[in-house]
Amino acid sequence: MWFYEKRTEYPIRIKRPDPRMAMNILTQYGGPNGELAASLRYLSQRFSMPTKEAKAVLNDIGTEELAHLEMIGTMVHQLMDGVTPEELKKLHVDSLYAVHGKAVYPSDSNGVPFTAAYIESMQDPIANLNENLAAEEKARATYDYLLRLTDDPDVIDPLRFLREREVVHYQRFGEALRIVQEEMSRKKFY
Local confidence pLDDT in tens for the 190 residues of the chain: 667 778 899 999 999 999 999 999 999 999 999 999 999 999 999 999 999 999 999 999 999 999 999 999 999 999 999 999 999 888 888 888 888 889 999 999 988 999 999 999 999 999 999 999 999 999 999 999 999 999 999 999 999 999 999 999 999 999 999 999 999 988 665 5
Contact by Cβ (8 Å): 37, 119: yes
Q: What is the pTM of this model?
A: 0.92
Residue 6 domain flag: no
136 Cβ contact list (under 8 Å, min separation 6) = 38, 166, 167, 169, 170, 173
Expressed as residue numbers, the domain containing 77 is 19-185
CATH of the domain at 100: 1.20.1260.10
Q: Where are the alpha helices (DSSP H) in the chain?
A: 19-25, 27-30, 35-45, 52-80, 85-90, 94-100, 125-148, 153-185
Q: Is 9 part of any domain?
A: no
